[in-house]
């Protein structure tokens, strides 16, 4: 008959096992192996396109996870979880991993601390990832504060600027398209591509109708075929408080964008995690987006790059013409 395990023996064995685990952990921490050097060529053949002279990967790293503003629907705890996980060091690791997999651009707004990390990444790690940034300064008739932020961003090496969608939605809603035009012109004076972000399709329609000389648009885009999608009578506007959608009219958006001859970066394509990336990327590229801007944790990057590359290649032929050449790195144009 098997001898029963005494409490003393159990404690002894447990302590031995715990000590072994602790020793291995201490060794791992005390002898941290250096981070693997990025491969000479991207791990995945991620296609690129051009906005002006700027060559941009078709999948762009979103900044919300890096700024800890995660748009996590009604799951409020995710904000603090993202902040605890994405430390300064983890953010720089994420940027390096994105570059290693062929993502050559990050886009976000400009809060001071995250911007300081981008600067450190370039200075301390030799990072080459490009920045597409939307200044958060108010856009007033004299555009003094806005111009100051634009100039600071350009001095830091920012490669493209766009009007924050929160601002453009409000200004267009107030009939102040002239201020949007001033903001666009302000960034163009510095010789970089200058775009307009939007949650409301009315922003894009007005900019096109009024001749606002944007070089590109960043517009929310996702379908409503997911379990928690809003019902038609719940949709009150382009940026509702309903916790799970940011594109109130995907069909109308796709139809209108067919008439727009400027590059379109789609964002909020996964409706804050409600739509799987494979589904979201295919929908965006199939229906006219030229680029997808997606928030990604480090452990999601490799798979998301693979899915985005497949989606681009799968939808070379589509109702809306590509508004930027599709060029995989180190290969011929598709």
pLDDT attached to residue 328: 52
Read off φ and ψ for residue 79, nearest 5 degrees. -60, -50
User: Which has the closest alpha carbon to 197: 267, 138, 143?
Assistant: 267
Does domain 50-314 fall into CATH 3.60.21.10?
no
Average pLDDT of the chain?
84
Rounding to the nearest 10 degrees, give the CA dihedral for residues 199, 205, 207, 208. 140
Choose among 140, 189, 181: nearest CA to 163. 181
Residue 230 has what pLDDT?
Answer: 73
Q: Using the Cα atoms of residue 88, residue 134, residue 278 and residue 57 in order, give the sign of their dihedral.
A: negative
- C-alpha angle with apex 184: 181 to 186, nearest 5 degrees? 110
DSSP state, residue 327? B
Residue-wise pLDDT for 236-274, tens only, equals 655 544 445 678 889 999 999 999 999 999 999 998 888
Per residue in 137-181, pLDDT (tens digit) is 999 999 999 999 999 999 999 999 999 999 999 999 999 999 999
What is the C-alpha separation between 306 and 328, in angstroms, rounded?
13
User: Is 234 or 330 the better-scoring residue by pLDDT?
Assistant: 234
Give mean pLDDT, residues 57-75: 83
Residue 56 DSSP one-character state: E
Are 190 and 151 contacting, i.e. CB atoms less than 8 angstroms apart? yes
Output the pTM of the full model: 0.84
**Could you give the angle at the alpha carbon of 102 between the alpha carbons of 333 and 124, nearest 5°?**
135
């Amino acid at each position: 008959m098997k001898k029963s395990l005494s409490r003393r023996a159990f404690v002894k064995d447990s302590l031995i096992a715990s000590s072994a685990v602790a020793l291995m952990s201490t060794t791992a921490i005390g002898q941290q192996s250096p981070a693997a050097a990025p491969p000479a060529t991207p791990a995945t053949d991620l296609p690129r396109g051009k906005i002006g002279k700027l060559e941009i990967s078709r999948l762009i790293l979103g900044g919300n996870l890096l700024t800890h503003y995660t748009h996590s629907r009604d799951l409020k705890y995710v904000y603090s979880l993202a902040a605890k996980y994405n430390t300064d060091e983890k953010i720089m690791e994420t940027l390096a991993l994105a570059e290693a997999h062929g993502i050559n651009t990050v886009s976000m707004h400009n809060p001071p601390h995250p911007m300081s990390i981008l600067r450190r990444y370039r200075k301390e790690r030799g990072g080459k990832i490009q920045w597409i940034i939307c200044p958060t300064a108010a856009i007033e008739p004299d555009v003094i504060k806005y111009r100051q932020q634009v100039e600071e961003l350009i001095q830091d090496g920012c490669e493209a600027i766009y009007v924050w969608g929160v601002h453009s939605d409000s200004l267009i809603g107030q009939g102040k398209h002239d201020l949007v035009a001033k903001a666009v012109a302000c960034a163009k004076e510095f010789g970089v591509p200058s775009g307009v972000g939007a949650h409301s399709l009315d922003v894009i329609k007005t900019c096109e109708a009024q001749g606002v000389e944007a070089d590109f648009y960043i517009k929310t885009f996702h379908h409503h075929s997911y379990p928690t999608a809003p019902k038609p009578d719940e949709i009150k506007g382009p940026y509702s408080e309903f916790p799970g959608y940011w594109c109130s009219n995907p069909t109308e958006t796709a139809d209108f964008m067919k008439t727009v001859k400027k590059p379109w970066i789609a964002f909020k394509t996964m409706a804050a995690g409600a739509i799987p990336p494979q589904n979201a990327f295919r929908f965006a590229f199939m229906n006219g987006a030229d680029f997808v801007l997606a928030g990604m944790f480090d452990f999601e990057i490799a798979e998301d790059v693979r899915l985005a590359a497949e989606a681009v290649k799968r939808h070379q032929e589509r109702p809306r013409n590509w508004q930027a050449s599709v060029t995989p790195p180190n290969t011929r144009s598709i």
